[in-house]
Amino acid sequence: MPMSSYRQPRVISFMWRHFPWALVAGLASQCPAAFSQEAPEVEDLALLTTRARAGNSPRIPAIVHFNYKIDLHIDDDSFDFGDVSKDDRDLLQVLKKNCKHTVDTFGGDVDKVYFYDDRDCRDELRKLDDFDGDKLADGFGRFQNGRFKSDLCRLAQLYKYGGYYFDTDILPVTSVRRVLEPETTFATARSTFKGDVLVFQAFLAATPKHPFIAEQLKEFGKWIDENHGEEEHPNLGCWLLGRSLDSWSDRVKEDPKVEKDGEVVRFFHEHEIKELKKEYSGLSEGVAKWKECRVAVVDQATKQLVMYSRVVTTNHNAVCTEELDILNRES
């Protein structure tokens, strides 16, 4: 497909997110009052300045990614999703608000925000010549399971740009960029929510062209070639990534930080809130109606709450009430 036929993915435009941050930090030290509205807080600027002076900037670029079947227009408060039912509109508005909140948790330490819809995903996949991009894009188009589509798309996003990927329904309560050590090259979460230790890749972070991401693109290509049924692995992306990580190191199921082969890999931990409350403070009550709404993600290395797993449960087409309360308070 000629390059001219590709649609460029939309970069979300928020004014403060396009300042060169070294310049912002310098200016703020001279006239901090000028940054009182949409710029980062003083402690955020101090953090950025400290990193710059120490030459300790994070290896993962300050880029935030989302994908969804349609564009949620997170930079347009007036967009109301047109001709959809009231229930669907209400859920889409929650997802939209949550994406904006997710970016805000970075406290201004963001260079770009990318939001891909299905067409953007197909276009980006098709450009991956090293992974038979046409095959990946065609496979994406044939997938009926929206999770498969999203899992494959996030790989294309992270392979090209690097950065931090979030599902639209995951609710962070702090900046993952602050929690992760600057030397981190890859990060995700482990889940013991359903018994076995699985990968919870609703959150993924990586440096550009990371070998783990490249391997997953190849694994998806093999899966498409072998023409598997989608029912074989309802959480295909999690299963493929977990299998690769297990083969890379036998420590990935236990340690929050694994260093090997020049990679620094970090794992958060997802579990039921009632279990996490035995060791962690600051969690919600964990008494929501739906089980998948009673789950959170913590960092075992720093002993802090990082995010709630869902603000919307697609299994029941409903909001997670406790998480929605948190979102409304913090937005």
Q: How far is CA 84 from the centre of its chain?
A: 26
Its pTM stands at 0.85
Rounded mean pLDDT of 69-76? 95
Burial of 226 per CB tally in 10 Å (0-12, 13-18, 19+)? exposed
pLDDT at res. 192: 83
Is a pLDDT exceeding 50 seen at residue 308?
yes
What is residue 315's three-state secondary structure? coil
Buried b or exposed e, range 102-128, using 16+ CB within 10 angstroms: bbebbbbbbbbbbbbbbebbbbbbbbb
Distances (CA, A) of 57 to 60, 64, 163, 313: 9, 16, 13, 36
What is the rounded CA–CA span in Å between residue 179 and residue 303? Answer: 10
Q: Average pLDDT of 190-214?
A: 89
Q: Which helix (H) or strand (E) holds 53?
A: helix 42-54
pLDDT of residue 314: 82
Give residue 276's pLDDT: 96
Q: 265, 189 in Cβ contact below 8 A?
A: no
pLDDT tens digits along 31-44: 333 323 333 344 44
Instruction: Report the CATH fold assignment for 58-330.
Output: Spore Coat Polysaccharide Biosynthesis Protein SpsA; Chain A (3.90.550)
Q: For position 146, what pLDDT does the model report?
A: 93
Q: Which helix (H) or strand (E) holds 289?
A: none
pLDDT at residue 56, as a whole number: 82
pLDDT in tens, 246-268: 999 989 888 999 999 999 999 99
Non-local (6+) Cβ contacts of 148 within 8 A are: 230, 236, 237
pLDDT of residue 29: 33
**Predicted local confidence at residue 99, as pLDDT:** 97
- pLDDT of 6 > 70? The answer is no
Give percent of the chain above pLDDT 90.
73
Residue 142 has pLDDT above 90, yes or no: yes
Average pLDDT over residues 229-247: 88
Of 211 and 233, more confident: 211
Select from 255, 241, 253, 247 the least CA-distant residue to 210: 241
Is the pLDDT confidence value at 14 over 70? no
The CA-based dihedral angle spanning residues 282, 287, 288, 293, taken in that order and rounded to the nearest 10 degrees: 60
What is the arithmetic mean of pLDDT over 192-210? 87
Handedness of CA 109, 116, 75, 14 (dihedral sign): positive
Q: How do residues 145-172 score in pLDDT, each as one tens digit?
A: 999 999 999 999 999 999 999 999 999 9
pLDDT, position 324 = 96
